[in-house]
Amino acid sequence: MEEKLSVCLINDSFPPLIDGVANTVMNYAKVVNEKHGKAVVAVPFYPKADDSGFPYKVVRFPSINTERIIDYRAGYPFSYETLEKIKPEKINIIHTHCPFASTVLARTLREPLDSPIIFTYHTKFDVDIERAVGKGYLKEKIIKGIVKNIEACDEVWVVSEGAGKNLKNLGYKGDYVVMPNGVDIPKGKVSKEEIEKATGKYDLPEDVPVFLFVGRMAWYKGLDIILEALEKLKEAGEDFRMVFVGGGLDFDEVVKYSEELGVSEKCIFTGAIHNRDSIRAFYSRADLFLFPSVYDTNGLVVREAAACSLASVLIEGSCAAEGILDSETGFLSENNSESFAKKLIFLCKNRELMKKTGEKAAEKIYISWEDSVAKAVERYKIVLENYRSGKFKREQTLADEWLDTEGEFLDYIAEAKIKTKTVKNEVYEGSKKAAKSFNQRRIKLKKSIIKKLHRLF
């Protein structure tokens, strides 16, 4: 009888914060839980989080509020309560989706759970680091540390070949497996009634091209290219409507820039929309999806748009444009507003081409989460077999020793807490002594780390 998979998915973002990676984790958990075994999700605590509606277990680990700096809360991965909640689930695969606190937590759990770690590289995290600390020495040291964090995992996945190349450029020296993500939007447009319900309150004339962007309102998504191209489109005498769906730290600046360029009256800023049916309605209503991001490593939104037969305009050579054929499954532009504007002006005069290309995109580039996760599950089984047969060889660094010991220590605390409720006091006292011994090892290791900080990762 085949062993049942029990997967712990860890990430730094999760509802009430929604982004592409949070969406990925939710869909991995949903499909694994429904078709392949059991999923447990471990994510940072958010004050207004409500996990009661998820069909799988969600474990919240402690966090601090850093949203003004990086849009996210920073998780604290060293909590015995977290291990106490996860260990009874008999986890045999740890899958981390973020290289920061999530992967530190994964490394801490590896020893007590005796399970391999898979890391998926979704996002060019160096951009987020630069945004938080600026350029220079500190950024480079943090990137070096994070790369070492990734290299400590048993297997590394990337969501595209371009993502793998970017990771190598950051200094990663290991191998990787390309594991593309799927989308949770079913193929096909929604009904006219559903479109009207979601979009009817906005000024979207039927005879005017409607452009759409869905995602975080962040400059590094290429939003300046969109706005400057729209200015040129307006100067060329073309009418249009541009819908921005999303929120983020740069939201107010983007709105202000649209006003400065004189295109704000043709732009609609909806803010964040969490209802997936409403987002699907916007995809179904639009004529063209604009996504000039060179930051994204996969661009799930491009395939979401394709699900609704909506073609995208992308930057040639970007990860989001990987596998896209110009004027066949999408449209390609150079990485500047002049080229982007020329493409939009051409397409405004060729709306039938937009439609046909969108239909081809639905046929050629769409991939469901069921298919994507099924492929991942087959790889899970190989990783588990390789781990148990000893094929994964890790060079034990000071950081590995510290995190393994930290995991053992947290395990002893959790076990001692359980035993004090279930067995005689002398057994509990024995567990406390063992925990004290491990704590002494922790303290000694931390002193070594302080003395040899440059060897930490």
Q: Which of 15-19, 96-100, 119-123, 393-397 has the lowest mean pLDDT?
A: 393-397
Beta carbons within 10 angstroms of residue 379's beta carbon: 15
pLDDT for 45: 94
Q: pLDDT tens, 189-205?
A: 999 999 999 999 999 99
Residue 292 contacts residue 335 (beta carbons within 8 Å): yes
pLDDT for 428: 40
> With bands split at pLDDT 50, 70 and 90, how would you rate the model's confidence at 425?
very low
| C-alpha pair distances (Å), 413 with each of 44, 422, 442 | 21, 15, 13
Q: What are phi and psi for residue 90, nearest 5 degrees?
A: 55, 50
- 106: nearest Cα among 98, 15, 438, 383: 98
Across 425-453, average pLDDT: 50
> With bands split at pLDDT 50, 70 and 90, how would you rate the model's confidence at 174?
very high
Residue 274, pLDDT above cutoff 90: no
Across 340-357, average pLDDT: 97
Residue 108, pLDDT above cutoff 60: yes
Residue 50 or residue 138, greater confidence: 50
Residue 67, pLDDT above cutoff 70: yes
Beta carbons within 10 angstroms of residue 173's beta carbon: 8
Q: Which of 108-117, 196-205, 422-431 has the lowest mean pLDDT?
A: 422-431
Residue 310, pLDDT above cutoff 50: yes
Angle, CA of 185, 203 and 266, to the nearest 5°: 95
Residue 448, pLDDT above cutoff 80: no
Mean pLDDT of the chain: 87
Q: Could you list the beta-strand ranges (E) of 281-400.
A: 288-291, 312-315, 331-333
Residue 422, pLDDT above cutoff 50: no
The whole-model pTM stands at 0.78
Across 374-393, average pLDDT: 94
Residue 332, pLDDT above cutoff 60: yes
Across 58-74, average pLDDT: 84
